[in-house]
Every structure is written in C-alpha cells, then in structure tokens.
Structure 1
C-alpha cells in the first residue's frame, strides 16, 4: 500500500520523536489543497493572528470536525489515519482533534516560539500525551530561509515541561529548552510540497519568522486516540473515530466549501487564557 509506515520508521519516531516521509502527498493533491487554501473565503475569514514576542504576527485558521471539503478528505484519508494508527501503536480508534492551516507570509510572517504541542493541550486536560501526535504536510517549500520547523530530536523523552506566555503564544520554559539544545540535536525540518512530518505531542519545536520573498504554508492535523480523555475540551471531534475515506477522495470526490467548518475563535481558546501558573516559568 502506498505510504505504508515501516517498522524502521516507527522505531525512529519512538527514538527521535519525529519522522519525515517524503512525497506523502502527490503534486496534484498539493496543488488542489494550496489553491483551495488561497481561494476558499472561509480560510481567510476565520484566520487568527497571534503575536510572537517581537510583535510579528503568525496567522492560522483552525477547525475541529473534518468535513467533506478537500482538507477534510485529506485528514480523513486512509493513508493519514493508517499512518497515525501505526505510529501510535494502539488498537484504539484514531480521532481527529483539530487541523490548522499555517500561513507564514513573505517578510511579515512571525515566529512560533519554542513549545510542545502538549504544552497547549495540557490546558485542555488531555490525560495521555503518548496517545497524541501531529502531522504537518508542506503545501509550499519549507526551508531555513522562510522559517521551517525546527525540532529538538529526542526532546519528547523529557516529558512535558512548563509553559508560559511569550507574546500571545504559549512558550516552553527557556531554561529547559537551552538545556535540551546543549544535550540533543537541533534539526531543521526542510520539506518540499507533499512531504509530511509526523511528530510526538511532547517534541520541543519552533519556527523562525519568514524573512524570505516566498510564503511558507502548511497543514498541521492533530490526532488522538479514543482511549485518551480530555476533561476540559468543548469540541467533540477529539472523541469521535475518524470516518475514513479512500485516498482517491482527495482528487476525485466532489468537495464542499469550508464555510460550514467549526473554526476556533481566538477568544474561545483555553490555551490562551491564564490558568495561574504561566508566570512561574
């Protein structure tokens, strides 16, 4: 089967906290996704701006329930869901937590500060970070010049570290990040359109601002297992098994607009609200 995740890749994920799968999506699939991202008014209408600590804006559109749009077909596709299931290595059904379109524009796209995804999701009170992961698919080239993702290999083995606010973002305790950088390998996840990065919920990562002349757009879909529990998450998608569709749905099935998607509103994000301990890091 296309894009089958090998035992060696699963071992690498367990060891390093991430794997890169080249050409996970075809050029035709990426072209369709990127054009939809550019042209579907729902994406721009529901984009959130988050300031980094320098004041530059990072832009994203985040929604929970995967629908019958082209992005929904990708996040529900057999190749993605099977890969997630293989990597997480659990018999529980895979659930889609949320997806977000990251839009880092030339010259103005801001940075993402050092963080773990579970640094955010801890506030949603998910119980088992080992049962959560993210899948980043590059829609445009991602390189050092335009602010590709940087990851600290093996940092997921540290477990969750404290997070506080840096700008409007949730950022990791920099003392522990500095310790990790002295101890483990820093990797620039340079990707071509269609490449996929699968990474652990506790992997420490960041991205620089985009100072290049070219955009860096990517889709990040986050998954959890139904056996995981969230005690402070108001959306419903995290506990509903993915309604898997065949891979050919992405290109061949009729697509709806994203206008009916359940986009996150900035004021409703618990990760951006004070919980009392952020100022202690």
Structure 2
C-alpha cells in the first residue's frame, strides 16, 4: 500500500496521517481474539499499571504470537513507512498499549525519538510509529493527542520521569507543551477499530487516563530505516530490538489466511 500525494503532504506538514478503517472488522477481530491470552501471561514483556493487575503495555508480542507476527510484516503498515523513510525498515519496537477501562493510566507528553536517541543511541530521526486501533477510539477512552507540526522543532529538552506512571519516560515540561500547543493546537484522531495512525518520531504526543467503561487498545509498530539502527543496548532486547534484518512484507490477506487456517 502506498500513500497518495495528499497524504504525503499532510504527513510532511502536520507530522501525522490518519487512515480510518484501514483494516476490516474481521481482520481486527483476528488480533483482538488473541489479547486475553497475551494479557494473562505473567512474563516480563507484559508491563502492568501501578495496581499490578491492569495491563499497560505488552511488548514484543510479534515474537510469541502468530497473529501479531503477521501484523508486524503487514504490507498496509510496512510499505507506507518504507515510502516515507525512503528505504528498508526493521522493527525497533513492537507494543500493544492496553488502556483498560477505568484503570488505564496517562502517557505523559513526550517525543518517541527523544527516548530512542537518549536510551538507544539511534543516530537520526529516520524512524516512525504506525498505530492500529484495536478498539473504537472515542473522546472518552483516552485517545492519543498530538501537537501538529511539533515534529519540525527537532529533539527538545526532556526530563526522565520515573515516578508518575509504572513505565519510565522522557517527558516534556508544561512550559514547552504550552508553547507548542499555542502554535500548533491540539488534535485527537478518533475512529473505529481498524483505523491506522502514522506519525513522525519527533511529533509531541500524549494520552489522558481512561476512566470510561470502554477499553482503548492500540498496537504500535516503531519502524526504523535499517542503516539508522540503534548503537546502544542498555534496554531490554524486547523493548529495543537488536535484529536489524529488513522486514519482508507478507501478502495483504495474511490475517484472514490465519483465521481460515484456525477454522479448518
């Protein structure tokens, strides 16, 4: 799948592009059917909220679940990133962010490349996130919030927050966020399960807590151009991957093929 000229211009201008209903409900169900089994596992990769129960993030699910392995090489996700980065890509990080009903905590204001540069020594911001909604995302259940055009400001000064939530993050201060929002405003793309968001690794973003009765689960592929691979390996391999092999995209029907295989 390729982005059209209008979408490419939107990404360059605003730092993100939103593709509603990029995946069908049937395809999304193949993935959501796997979530209870993944979230039930008491393994290091499954990071929980401060209550020790609600799942915050399931890292590297593509390494131990077949449906998410296929998603990690899906052409509708991989090919647009190759187009935007003008090169082959590898999987820097793969995570399922499960903002559970009532219990999903905030993700503070941050830039992803700020973390990748500081913690992983990724040389340049030649990487990006692509996110697939596994639930309907509404104004009530903790949608992602972006500051459009903030990716053009480069990497900003950040503090390492080790206390606010269960997951450490390099976060931006209130004055910086206020200044950026005054110039760029705020957006919170919302849409049905199966929708896709692609956003620049320097785009400033966050999400509020989810006190609604509705789950908000999003799976993220963080893809990096292969020659821009990380140089430092202090984080766990399942957080910052060390296999820089270029992803070879599968066929477009790979998720439904798995559903047919299971039904046979």
- Shorter-chain TM range is 0.7 to 0.9
Given that residues 99 and 215 in structure 2 are in contact (C-alpha distance below 8 angstroms), is that contact kept between their aligned partners in structure 1?
yes
* Closer, same or farther: CA 57–64 of 1 in aligned 2, 3 Å: closer
Normalised to the residue count of structure 2, the TM-score between the two structures is 0.86
Please give the secondary structure, in 2, of the residue aligned with 1:30: helix
Distance 1:113 1:76 in 2: 29
Once the two structures are superposed, the pairs formed by residues 142-221 of structure 1 within 5 Å of their partners are 142-166=137-161, 167=164, 168-170=167-169, 171-221=171-221
Distance 2:206 2:243 in 1: 24
Given that residues 43 and 61 in structure 1 are in contact (C-alpha distance below 8 angstroms), is that contact kept between their aligned partners in structure 2?
no
Normalised to the residue count of structure 1, the TM-score between the two structures is 0.81
Distance 1:227 1:220 in 2: 21
Aligned residue in 2 for 1:35: 33
Aligned residue in 1 for 2:130: 135
Please give the secondary structure, in 2, of the residue aligned with 1:61: strand
Distance 2:101 2:259 in 1: 32
Aligned residue in 2 for 1:76: 73
Report the CA distance between 1:120 and its aligned residue: 1.4
Given that residues 131 and 218 in structure 2 are in contact (C-alpha distance below 8 angstroms), is that contact kept between their aligned partners in structure 1?
yes
Please give the secondary structure, in 1, of the residue aligned with 2:228: coil
| RMSD of aligned alpha carbons | 2.6
Distance 2:70 2:41 in 1: 16
How many pairs are equivalent? 249
Distance 2:91 2:137 in 1: 24
Aligned residue in 1 for 2:11: 13
Report the CA distance between 1:66 and its aligned residue: 5.0
Distance 1:137 1:212 in 2: 20
Gaps spanning 5+ residues in structure 1: where?
A: 257-281
